[in-house]
Structure 1
Amino acid sequence: MNSNQAEIQNHRKLGQELELFTSMEEAPGMPVFLPKGMVIRNELESLWKKKHQSAGYQEIKTPIMMKQSLWEQSGHWDHYHENMYFSRVDEQDYAIKPMSCPGAVLIFNSKRRSYRELPVRYAELGLVHRHELSGSLNGLLRVRSFTQDDAHLFVREDQIEPEIDSILDLIHEFYSRFGFSYKVELSTRPEDFMGSADMWDKAEASLESVLEAKGLPYQVNHGEGAFYGPKIDFHILDSLGRSWQCGTVQLDFQMPEKFGCSYIGEDSKPQQPVMIHRAIYGSIERFMAILIEHYAGEFPLWLAPVQAKIIPISEVHAEYGNQIKQQFEQAGFRIEVDCRLEKMGLKIREAEMQKIPYMIVIGDQEVLNRSLSIRRRKDKKLVVLSIEEAIMLLKKEMDSK
C-alpha cells in the first residue's frame, strides 16, 4: 500500500474537504454529519431498509437507555460495563445501550409465540454508545456514538443453517454493490464465555457446516468469539488492498436462556429459540469512512451528495440553468447551479475539487439549441445532449449500479 496515496484518501481529510462530517470538542468521539454527509448516510440506510424488507425482515426501534437490571440479566454488565455509559433517573440506575440485542429480546418476549411464526427476523438501525479512550478516537472509524445495522433473528434449531445461508447471500449482495471482495473468518469459544462447552461445540459446528456447504474459504480464529457465542466475521478489501472487518454473524444460545425466550413447539410444549445476531455494514459511520477512502471521495453516481453541477458561462444563462435543474430534480437527481459571478475556470476547478460526477456547462449555443454540454468526471468525455438525453444518460448509469 502506498502511504502517500493512503494519506490522500484519508477519510478525515476528504470528509472536511467535501463537507461530509466534522467533530466538535463539545462532543468528542460523537461525529456531526453535515448536509452532504447526510445524503450518503441516507442512501446507505435506504438501501439497507429496502434490501431487508425484501428479505423478510421487520424493522424495529428500541430505547437508547434502559434499566441497569436489564444489562445485568443480559450479561453485558459482567462482560462489558467498563465500556458503557450510565445515568440515574427517578432513583433507578440506567445504562445507555452499547448494543441493541436486549431490546430485540424484549420485543420477542412481548407476546406468546408459536413454532409456525419462526423465524422472526428483526432489523434495527440502532444508535449505540461505547466508551472508547480519547486517544483511540479516529474520525468515523473509531467513535463513541454510532449506528449499528443490527439484525436479531429468533429461529428453531432446524432453521439455523438455512437462515445463516440466506444471511451470507445478503451480505454478498451488499458488498458486491460497492465492488468489495472479502475474506471470511470463523471465531470460536473464548476463555471468558457463557454457557456450556457442549452448547458452544454445537454452535460452532453449525457455522462450519454452512461455510463448508457454500464453499466459502475461511480462516479459524481460535478463542476470538463473542462471550455469548461463536461468530463469522467478514473482512472487506478496499481499493488500496487494506482489510476492514465489517459484517458479522453470531450464533447465541445464551441470551434466549437468560431472558426465558420461548415458543410453543409442534408438540404443544415450550421450546427455546436460538438467537442470531447479525450486522452487514458493522456501523453506518465506520462503513462511510471505509467508502470515503475506498472511492477517494469520488462516489458512484447513486451515492454522490451532488450528482451534477450546472455552470452557466455568464449571468444571462442562469435562467436556463435553473430550468435544467428543475427537470433533473423532477427526475430524482441531486443537482446544483453555480450562479456566482466568478470566472468559469474557478467554478470548474471547484466542481472538480468537490469530485462531482457530472459537470454541465451552458452558454449561448446551449440556450439557443435547448441543449447542454455535459462532461463525466470519470473519463473527462464531453458530449452535447438534449436535457431528456442527459437525464436518460444518468438514469442508465444509476440503473447499471
Structure 2
Amino acid sequence: MGTRAVVVGGGIGGLAAAIGLHRAGWTVDVLERATEPDDAGAGISLAANGLRALDELGVGEAVRAASRGQYSGGTRTPGGGRLARMDGAALERAVGTPIMGVPRATLHRLLREALPAGAVRIGVRARSAEQAGPDAVRVDCGDTVLGADLVVAADGAGSRLRGRLFPDHPGPAYSGSTVLRGITDRPVDLRADFELTWGRGAEFGHIAFLDGRAEWHAVLTLPAGTRFPDPLGELRRRFAGWHEPIPALLAATRPDAVLHHDVRELRTPLPTYAVGRIALLGDAAHAMTPNLGQGACQALEDAVTLAAALADRPGVDAALAHYDAERRPRSQAVSRAARQAGRMGHQLANPLAVALRNTVMRVTPSRVATRMILRHHAWTPPPLRRADAAPPTHPGRAA
C-alpha cells in the first residue's frame, strides 16, 4: 500500500480527503491554487450524512459547536404564504441531528486545523497529473514536480485534472441559474433558522448563524454570464416586494460582500471516479445543483469512503475500485434528484404549474416531506480505521 498522496484542491472535499488519509497513516500534501477560499463569504447547510462523515474524520464535534441547528422555517411564497414547514425536531429524531448552518469560512478553518502544519500549500497550481509507472503518479506544478502513490483530484466543477483524464467529456454545463449570495454585516431579527421563498424563476433563502448574522442567497433564471454593475442594488429592486426578512437581509449586507457565480453541473455523468492512481472527488467528480443542499455533503461522503477504502484494502488499485463502486451510483443519483428539485422549485415559471405545485406542497403532510429528505440524509459512513489502531478482524482470520 502506498503512503504518500497529493490532494489537488483545498476546498471542503479536498481538505476532508486529506484529513481522512492522514488519519489512515498517509503523508498528504494539499495543493490550493488560491491564496484564500474563493467562497469564504458564503454559508453552508450540513445534513446528517455530511455531519456523520465529519464525525468519522474526527472534526464533527468542533463543527457542531460552531453551527446553528435548523429547527424552524420552511418554504414560502413571495407574499409570505406558507408552502411547507420545516420540522427540524422530527428530522433530528429520525437521523440524530438537525441540519446545521455554519459559515463556510469557519468550516474551512476547522478542516485546515485538523491537518498537520504545512500540509496545505497555498498558491500552488497543479498543471497536470500523470502516471509515472503502474504504482506512482507525477504532479506537475510548474516550478516543481511532486511524486505520489495517489492523487486526489478535488479541484472543483471546472477541474483541470478531470479534463485531462476525460478529454472527450463535455465538462460542466450551465444549469440555467445564477446565484448571488452574501453574509449580513450585523445580526438580523429572524424568526426562522432556515427558509426558502420560491417565486416565478427566482428563489431567495437564508441560513441563520450562531452569532445572529445570516447567509442569504438569491437564485435567478438568467443567461449564463449575466452580471450587474450594482449587484446589491439589483437584488433590492428585484425582491423589493417580497416578504420580510428578505429586504432586511439585503439592507444588512455591504455591497462589496455580494458574491455572484453561475451554477454549473456535470450533467453528463463520468464513467468512473478512478483512473489509474488518480481519484476524482467532490465537484470534480459530480458537480451538482444546490437544490438539495447536498453538494458539500456528497464530497464529505466521498472523502470518508476513499480514506476508509485505502485504510482497509490490501492495495491502492483495489481500494480505488471499491471507492468508485461505492460512490458513483449514489452521488450521481443525488445529482439527478437535485436537478429535478430545481425544475420543480425556483426554475418553475408557468403560472398554472406554479399554482399546482404550491397546492400540492400545502396539502403534503410534513412527515411525508421528512421521509423524502431521509432518502439523502440517512447515510452511514464506513468506519475509518486509524493507522495506530489494530487491524480489523476478518472471518476466518486470527485477530
TM-score under structure 1 normalisation?
0.20
Q: Which structure has the greater CA radius of gyration?
A: 1
Report which of the two has the higher share of helix: 1
TM-score when normalising by structure 2: 0.20
Q: Higher RCO, 1 or 2 (CA under 8 Å, sep at least 6)? A: 2
